[in-house]
Structure 1
Amino acid sequence: MDILRWLFEAQIPVGGSVLILREVLGNIFGLASALGGMRRKVWAWPAGIAGNLLLLTVFLGNVFGSATPATLWGQAGRQVMFIIVAIYGWQRWRQSRRAAGSSTAIAPAWASARTRVALVLALVAGTAALTPLFDSLGSYPPVWADAWTFMGSLLATYGMARGWTEFWLIWVAVDVVGVPLLFSAGYFASAFMYLFYGFFTLAGFIVWWRASRTQAAADASKVKVETAFPDPAVSK
């Protein structure tokens, strides 16, 4: 109990202000998860869940006695969403790794054109639908930005679970809106971390893009070999 009390009360003085230790630790776990995701390692998901649990207590503001009183329902709600989707992604990547017999969990691939359109529409429609809900709950303004980060995070996490290379670009769209929102709400540790994420996600996109090209070339070579040398058993 003493450890939990210390965790919830601990603060880091910075200049004339303070940072909440839980916010810093949550973002460190988030960074570890992002690094694991870039390398397509299964441990990225449980690391992310640990960070989500910490950040959930932070973004609920006064509910947990936060040093920063602003409550961001979209940011808090997306931590719950992260945990739910992370459990799905964790299982999917574990199954994919076992099936492939590889150290990496999943083979990156591009989403179909129809899927891309659906992702864009879902982001816009979801933001429009959630904005009045978050507003009624008293979320920090501008409320549409809170809704945007929630929907974008949901779609990006789901895209990561499915192995779509585009999920990195969705994160960029989240960071463009989320960083100013977090700065204005006083969550400086998260704001600086998301600012770093903006550059990190571009690097992650390049890594997955190259991996998807390598995978596509390998699949094409496999098809050519199977076409040139068909399985006799199948031919019969």
Structure 2
Amino acid sequence: MLRSDFLQWLIDCKHWLDSPALRAFGGQPASWAEVIGFVLGVGSTGYGAVESPWCWPFSIANNVVWIPLFFTAGLYADTSLQFVYAVLGAIGLWHWATGRAAARGKLPVTRTPQWEWHLQALLLAVGTWWLWAVLVHVHDSAPFLDAFTSVFSIIAMWAQVRKYIETWPLWVAIDFVYIPLYIHKGLMLTAALTVVFLAFAVWGWAVWHRSLLRDSAEPAKPAAVFA
């Protein structure tokens, strides 16, 4: 009985998240999932730009809300990607909050090692090809773009977890692909949010670059976990 009640509650939640909340740009209806995702996404990216571990709780909550949004839009890779994001978000929360440099008390900004660039390029090529084949089989609405952006996003997310400064130019490149994709799917508010993501990515790039220079020039200092 409890299991059936819980399943019904999940179904009711999905129906509510799918229901129209307001009209976005061009008169397109925006669902509650888009509206809530907009708020959580701004919080996640904003906190990430200023190196606060609070970006990860916002990110995980955003992933949960966006699962029904992308599933309804027929973007199945993006739907599955939210589960991967949630796991990486949990790792990122621990990694940023505890840090790897005991003297600092927080994870410093660093650069991606050369060997990881080669591995990322290989993963992007092989992962996109494999996921594209899967998405064609399940009749995804945009199989190649969905596959490419999903694999690329995982690489960028991992760079953010590791606090590599290159995460931001990677997100800039991804956002330029996501914006027209979301417009094509009628997700106007999500497309607008991605424009906000793009602006935050440029800002975060500048902030992290200053931190990178400071971290390499100054001696280590202790810091609060949730600053």
Q: TM-score, normalised by structure 2?
A: 0.83
2:190 aligned partner: 190
Structure 1 residues 80-118: Cα deviation after superposition (integer angstroms, max 9, x where no partner)? 11101111111111211893465xx42101111222222
SS of 1:163's equivalent in the other structure is: coil
- How big is the shift at 1:218? 2.2
Provide the rounded CA distance (Å) in 2 between the counterparts of 1:99 and 1:57.
40
Provide the rounded CA distance (Å) in 2 between the counterparts of 1:100 and 1:148.
39
SS of 1:12's equivalent in the other structure is: strand
- How big is the shift at 1:54? 0.5
Q: Provide the alpha-carbon RMSD of the alignment.
A: 2.3
Counterpart selection for 1:11 from 11, 21, 25: 21
Provide the rounded CA distance (Å) in 2 between the counterparts of 1:13 and 1:179.
18
- How big is the shift at 1:203? 1.6
1:218 aligned partner: 218
1:139 aligned partner: 140
Structure 1 residues 172-216: Cα deviation after superposition (integer angstroms, max 9, x where no partner)? 121121111111111111111112222321221111112111111
The answer (yes or no) to whether the contact 2:17–2:31 under 8 Å persists in 1 is no
SS of 2:102's equivalent in the other structure is: helix
Provide the rounded CA distance (Å) in 1 between the counterparts of 2:75 and 2:169.
23
Provide the rounded CA distance (Å) in 1 between the counterparts of 2:139 and 2:38.
24
Residue correspondence of structure 1 range 1-236 to structure 2 within 5 A: 4=13, 6-14=16-24, 16-61=27-72, 70-96=73-99, 99-100=102-103, 102=105, 105-141=106-142, 143-218=143-218
SS of 1:99's equivalent in the other structure is: coil
The answer (yes or no) to whether the contact 2:21–2:35 under 8 Å persists in 1 is no
Provide the rounded CA distance (Å) in 2 between the counterparts of 1:100 and 1:41.
18
- How big is the shift at 1:34? 0.8
Provide the rounded CA distance (Å) in 1 between the counterparts of 2:200 and 2:97.
24
Which of the pair has the greater relative contact order for Cα pairs under 8 Å at 6+ separation? 2
Amino acid aligned to 2:93: W
The answer (yes or no) to whether the contact 1:148–1:177 under 8 Å persists in 2 is no
| Percent of aligned positions that are identical | 25
What stretches of structure 1 move > 6 A for 4+ residues in a row? none
Provide the rounded CA distance (Å) in 1 between the counterparts of 2:16 and 2:76.
25
2:5 aligned partner: none
Provide the rounded CA distance (Å) in 2 between the counterparts of 1:185 and 1:53.
20
Number of aligned residues: 209
1:26 to 1:100, Cα distance in 2 relative to 1, 3 A: farther
Larger Rg belongs to: 1
Instruction: Return 5+ residue gaps in structure 1 as ranges.
Output: 62-69, 222-236
The answer (yes or no) to whether the contact 1:78–1:150 under 8 Å persists in 2 is yes
Provide the rounded CA distance (Å) in 2 between the counterparts of 1:98 and 1:47.
25
Provide the rounded CA distance (Å) in 2 between the counterparts of 1:218 and 1:125.
40
The answer (yes or no) to whether the contact 1:40–1:106 under 8 Å persists in 2 is no
1:67 aligned partner: none
The answer (yes or no) to whether the contact 2:178–2:194 under 8 Å persists in 1 is yes
The answer (yes or no) to whether the contact 2:60–2:85 under 8 Å persists in 1 is yes
Provide the rounded CA distance (Å) in 1 between the counterparts of 2:17 and 2:74.
19
1:229 aligned partner: none
Provide the rounded CA distance (Å) in 2 between the counterparts of 1:144 and 1:207.
33
